[in-house]
Amino acid sequence: MDRFIVGTGRCGSTLLSRMLAQSPEMASLFEFFNGLPGNRFAPGTMSGAELWEIISKPHPFVTMVTSRGHRVEEVTYPFDRPGVRFTPDDLLPWLLVSTLPALTDDPDALFDESRAFVSVQPHRTPADHYRTYFQWLAEQTGRTMWNERSGGGIEYLPELARSFPGARFVHLHRAGEETSLSMREHAAFRLAISIVYNLDPEVDLATALSAITPQPGADDPVARMLARRPHAAHFGVFWSDQLMNGYRGVQLLEPGQYIEVSFEDLVDDPRTTLRRIAAHFAMDPEASGWIERAAAMVRGRPPERAGELPVEERERLAETCRAGNRLLGRAVAPKIALA
């Protein structure tokens, strides 16, 4: 069975992936698809060597953030560990950003083993290559099954649904306003939003995007974009757009392939919620007491931030999140003034 967790960025899916990884059956594959180029689901077949070129490419955007001293929770490569190959200023292969470090204490070695395995695979469709590689990764860690989870994965749910017919999906979602404000506290999202919506008209984006690492003595437009705090509404637009794209994929799925889980339910009642997910993913809920270990990872709901915004910003954020919240069944009925 192919298993995927999808959601927008900052919806709590990283926590859910870590919780499922407590199961002795499950290998949680973090952020695999998110940073791959646009041909990740190309039609036709390709060789293993061609696939390796796709999945091992560095993602310059990561280095743009890490080389300027910003910590990104999802980047788990152990830069500070003695003897590792890469520094925060290096172009880091995408597999080493999150996927392999979540599976092993020696991601450089697993990267080399992955190259040896993937590169000699025969011509297959991309989906068949991924399935073969994911199962191989699970076996390397002593697991029998896998799930893939990327921040923003809901946006390309249509591609996943077409490429992996019969796969099962868990869509984890969180209130749009709180998700958007969590994005604003995240350096990589601030940079992405500034670029996507061209929020600094004085910055030439072509020049900025070529400045992967800061140049001594030079103006650094990337650092300026990382430091700014865009209006919350920009993140609300981004969040709603991801959901609207994703729900086109929901229409391609049979009812038994897809469930929705709220972040609030996950943190308020983790045991019940994890049992529901385990049933959907055909996991053994009793194996080695993993649900109890996973439930212990919960530290309660994060404090809500929307109510602390100035009135104008709060109202604009709510308006930009309305379409996404409606899709999720989270729309709040307007208050009726009593005479």
User: For the ranges 96-110, 211-225, 247-261, which has the lowest average pLDDT?
Assistant: 211-225
Which pLDDT belongs to residue 38?
84
Question: Over pLDDT 70: what percentage of the chain?
Answer: 98
DSSP alpha helix (H) spans, 197-332: 205-210, 221-227, 232-250, 263-268, 270-280, 290-295, 311-327
Fold of 3-327: Rossmann fold (3.40.50)
Distance (Å, rounded) from C-alpha 222 to C-alpha 209? 8
Distance of CA 329 to the CA centre of its chain: 22
Q: Helix, strand or coil for residue 53?
A: helix
> And the tokens for 174?
């969180």
Find out whether 218 and 101 touch, Cβ atoms under 8 Å: no
* Paired tokens of 252: 């391609």
Interval 123-149 mean pLDDT: 98
Instruction: Reduce the DSSP state of residue 82 to 3 states and report it.
Output: coil
pLDDT > 70? residue 332: no
- Over residues 194-243, the pLDDT tens digits come to 999 999 888 888 888 888 999 777 789 999 899 999 999 999 999 999 99
pLDDT tens figures, 29-85 = 999 999 998 889 999 999 999 999 999 999 899 999 999 999 899 999 999 999 999
**Closest by CA position to 162, among listed 130, 127, 132:** 127
From residue 125, alpha-carbon distances to 21, 46, 118, 141, 208 in Å are 28, 6, 13, 25, 36
- Neighbour order of strands in the sheet with 168-173: 26-30, 145-149, 3-6, 168-173, 258-262
* Residue ranges per structural domain of the chain: 3-327
Cβ–Cβ < 8 Å for 235, 182:
no
